[in-house]
Amino acid sequence: MKNDKIRNVAIIAHVDHGKTTLVDQMLKQGGVFRHNQQVAERVMDSNDLERERGITILAKNTSVCFKDYKINVVDTPGHADFGGEVERVLKMVNGVILLVDAYEGTMPQTRFVLQKALNLDRKVIVVVNKIDRADARIGEVCDEVLELLMDLDAKHEHLDSPIVFCSARLGTSTMSIESPGVDFVPLFETIITHIDPPDGNPDKPFKMLVSALDHNDYVGRIGIGRIESGTLVFGKPAVVTNFYSQDKPPVKVKIGSLFRFEGLDRVTVDSATAGEIVCISGIEDLTIGDTVSDAEDITAIEFPKITEPNVEMTFLVNDSPFAGREGKFVTSRNLRDRLYKERIKDVSIRVSDTDSSEAFKVCGRGEMHLSILIENMRREGYEFAVSMPKVLFKFDENGKKLEPIDRLTVDVPVDFVGAVMQKMGVRKGDLVTMNPFGSRMRLDFDIPSRGLFGYKSEFLTDTKGEGILNSIFLKYDSYRGEIERRNSGSLIAHETGTTSAYGLFNAQERGELFVGAGVPVYSGMIVGENPKSEDIVVNVCKKKQLTNMRASGSDESLRLTPCKIFSLEQALVYIADDEYLEVTPQNIRLRKKILDSNLRMRQKR
């Protein structure tokens, strides 16, 4: 038996192909907003970081109504670092909208998310977006999608997937590129006719798989998932089990509250039947992958294994001379509680204790994945230090060292191909394919994940900002040898104090500075970069001695070169193995692990 008036669909795509903009228009044309209502752009990106960066980090649930049908929509992230979000929400839906940019075509993340959908045998609707672009390659992009489906060994019904042509920005869709669209009715009708209604017999015992988690200060942990069978009633006793923890005894619980998605709101309901996507609360230790069911049938539902993380960092309590000045949460207990809380929400994060009570190992899906966690924590008032990111190596049965390899796709003007090829050679990248697109060239490389650390800023400089760079994890393969991470040294502050123009003027002859005048620094803090490989201690707090022989205007001649300001991501990939990044709500500072210069020299010897 099926719930014929419900359709559950996820929107999957490569980053910046227009998923959230498409959902905006679906909400507007699905009657969620009044025609004259003022609505922010990308209304689904509710997190501050998402709005600032223009990316989706967390999967979001919403629903729209078309005729007498209810369409539950899940907006998923496009970045490979948040692929764990995509993998788990696909379990909630019966079909996917594969969104493809009409110019960029299929990209690395397109392949990744489509592979996951095909593995779960989800129906596919191909949406070619941004058809109003002047440089759109609509026919070629349709061929690329077909080639990708064939390459992924898709079934015949997937090869016959319908194609809808859209402009999410203008809110139009059409089934034929020859006839321009006026609204999203063709897209809605395709969803209704092509996507199957959810399976599930409402007369069977209740069963639900928790695919996402949220948290509310009033009701605590909230589990989000699709009801696989039966009817869920508010306040009813239930049992929690997990497919991968069969040895653990089932836990008896009671459903505290029950919500259903209506547009952007969660509406309290007394009951919900098979096929609906709902939220439940009142279960204390609920985690992603748990099965909530009636006591009559406590068989756990299998949950897809999430791809393992391949980058690790160490999070430590801040022990610099400025520790505790700017942060609200500074102790090891605060840090540990926050990291383990993140592990519950984010299935791709791994957190473990170390030999030291003040340091914790955190593994994630990439440097951006971990930098988002760091940025969220500093905004919440946490103060801590982190080590440089490292890839996680593996060893095969013969003891051979394996490392993660990424598939890197580069889209650059033809003039810059030489510069990219040179950098790829240094970073152990192997060219796989090379295809021209007008005046641009698209190149695919297989490159060690560690070879990409810090490359993005170099790439933008090499291509004068015109290049497009995307990567995704491909496989573990044999270790490719040493890659020089950084061939420059550091300029290190000699003493604790406030920087002066006189001290900085003398120090800037040694290299590029990272701090300006009037900035508090401490001994062992990194204040600049030495072009040569060795570290140099400089006195940036030095003041000019006053004498009775002063030439008028002599101080005005001290011209300081503008200092380099790091973003969080740039600082993370810049620091070396013997350095930390100090993170506070107000500042990020680069520092040496050993602050005392004499101890550093002794250890080096």
Kindly report, residue by residue over 79-108, the tens digit of the pLDDT.
554 555 566 778 788 899 998 988 888 876
3 state SS for 340-372: HHHHHHCCCCEEEECCCCCEEEEEECCHHHHHH
> 584 in helix, strand or coil?
coil
With helix as H, strand as E and coil as C, how does 218-255 read? Answer: CCEEEEEEEEEECEEECCCEEEEEECCCCCCCCEEEEC
Q: What is the CATH number of the domain that holds 164?
A: 3.40.50.300
- pLDDT score recorded for residue 430: 93
Give the mean model confidence (pLDDT) for residues 482-508. Answer: 88
Task: State how far the Cα of 291 lies from the Cα of 220, in Å rounded to an integer.
Answer: 18
Cα dihedral 234, 235, 236, 238 in deg (nearest 10): 100
Do 422 and 500 fall within a single domain?
A: no
Count of CB atoms situated within 10 Å of the CB of 257: 17
- CATH number of the structural domain spanning residue 557: 2.40.50.250
Enclosing H/E stretch for 412 = strand 401-413
Lowest mean pLDDT among 30-34, 198-202, 454-458, 494-498: 30-34
The answer to whether 365 touches 310, Cβ cutoff 8 Å, is yes
Point out the least confidently predicted range of 32-41, 200-209, 378-387. 32-41
| Torsions phi, psi for 365 (to 5 deg) | -90, 0
The total number of residues shown for the chain amounts to: 605
Pairing of strands 290-293, 512-513: unpaired
In-domain check, residue 284: yes
For residue 50, the model assigns a pLDDT of 41
pLDDT confidence of 133, banded at 50, 70, 90? confident
> 243 and 107: one domain?
no
Is 366 inside a domain boundary?
A: no
The residue out of 166, 194, 222 marking a domain boundary is 194
Beta carbons within 8 Å of 329's beta carbon, 6+ residues apart: 335, 338, 380, 381, 382, 383
* Highest-scoring range by mean pLDDT, 27-41, 460-474, 570-584: 570-584
Instruction: Tally the C-alpha atoms within 13 A of residue 184's C-alpha that lie toward its C-beta.
Output: 25
3 state DSSP class of 236: coil
- The answer on pLDDT for 550 being more than 70 is no
Segment among 82-86, 93-97, 534-538, 569-573 with least mean pLDDT: 82-86
Provide the 10 A C-beta neighbour count for residue 601: 12
- Please give the pLDDT value at position 557: 66
- What pLDDT does 554 receive? 56
Look at residue 573 and tell me whether its pLDDT is greater than 90: no
Q: What angle do CA 405, 57, 316 make, to 5 degrees?
A: 70
Which of 69, 70, 149, 55 has the alpha carbon at shortest distance from 110?
149
Q: Are residues 565 and 458 in the same domain?
A: no
Q: Domain check: are 183 and 50 in the same one? A: yes
pLDDT at 405 > cutoff 80: yes
In a domain, 201, yes or no: no
Whether 548 shows a pLDDT value over 90: the answer reads no
Least confident of 258-267, 289-298, 519-528: 258-267
Residue 497 contacts residue 519 (beta carbons within 8 Å):
no
Q: Which of 26, 116, 100 is nearest to 62 (CA)?
A: 26
Helix (H, G, I), strand (E, B) or coil at 161: coil
pLDDT for the residue 38: 44
Between residues 404 and 48, the one the model is more confident about: 404
**Strand, coil or helix: what is 9?**
strand
CATH number at residue 237: 2.40.30.10
- Residue 395, classed as helix, strand or coil, is strand
- Quote the tokens at residue 472: 């995704």
Both 91 and 141 in a single domain?
A: yes
Residue of 426, 365, 372 lying closest to 391 (CA atoms):
365
Which is more confidently placed, 590 or 23? 590
Query: Are 160 and 220 contained in the same domain?
Result: no
235: left (phi over 0), alpha (psi -120 to 50) or beta: left
| pLDDT > 50? residue 344 | yes
pLDDT bucket at 556, cuts 50 / 70 / 90: low
305 in a structural domain: no
In this structure, is residue 343 part of a structural domain?
A: no
Contact of 247 with 208, CB cutoff 8 Å = no
Q: What is the pTM of this model?
A: 0.73
Residues 128, 50, single domain; the answer is yes
Q: Confirm if 126 and 14 have CB atoms less than 8 A apart.
A: no
Q: How many CA atoms lie within 13 A of 389 on its CB side?
A: 27
Does 74 share its domain with 213? no
What is the chain's alpha carbon radius of gyration, rounded to the nearest angstrom?
Answer: 27
In a domain, 157, yes or no: yes
Answer whether residue 383 shows pLDDT above 90. Answer: yes
Last residue of a domain, one of 478, 497, 516: 478
CB contact at 8 A, 14 and 110 = yes
Domain of 457 in residue numbering reads as: 394-478
Task: Please check the confidence at residue 37 and state whether its pLDDT lies above 50.
Answer: no
Specify the number of domains making up the chain.
4
Instruction: Please indicate, yes or no, if residue 337 is contained in any of the structural domains.
Output: no
Nearest C-alpha neighbor of 30 from the set 69, 82, 88: 69
CA distance 557 to 502: 10
Domain assignment present for residue 378? The answer is no
Q: Give mean pLDDT, residues 164-185.
A: 87
Same domain for 20 and 152: yes
CA atoms within 13 A on the CB side of 198: 29
State residue 382's pLDDT score.
Answer: 94
**Residue 305 scores a pLDDT above 80:** no
* pLDDT over threshold 70, residue 234: yes
pLDDT reading at 315 higher than 90: yes
Please state, rounded to an integer, the average pLDDT across all residues of the chain.
83
Which of 115-129, 404-418, 459-473 is the least confident region?
Answer: 459-473
Q: Please say whether the beta carbons of 504 and 434 come within 8 A.
A: no
Assign 3-state DSSP to the chain and report helix, strand, coil percentages, each to 5. Answer: 25, 35, 45
Question: Bridge partners of 444?
Answer: 409, 433
Q: The domain that contains 418 carries what CATH number? A: 3.30.70.240
Does 74 share its domain with 145? yes
Q: What six digits make up the tokens of 394?
A: 């593996």
User: What was the pLDDT predicted at 77?
Assistant: 63
Kindly give the residue spans of alpha helices, DSSP state H, lying in 54-102: 83-89
How far is Cα of residue 450 from the mean position of the Cα atoms in its chain? 18
Residue linked to tokens 């209502």? 37
Model confidence band, residue 435 (pLDDT cutoffs 50, 70, 90): confident
What average pLDDT does this structure show over 2-12? 82
Domain boundary (478, 513, 547) is at: 478
**Can you give the three-state secondary structure of 528-543, one letter per residue?**
EEECCCCCEEECCCCC
Same domain, residue pair 97 and 35: yes
* Residues in CB range of 194: below 8 A, 6 or more apart: 95, 123, 125, 161, 162
Phi, psi at 235, each rounded to 5° = 85, 0
428 and 564 share one domain: no
Q: What is the pLDDT of residue 81?
A: 47
pLDDT digits (tens, 9 = 90+) for 47-60: 454 444 444 444 45
pLDDT reading at 528 higher than 90: yes
CA distance 583 to 50: 20
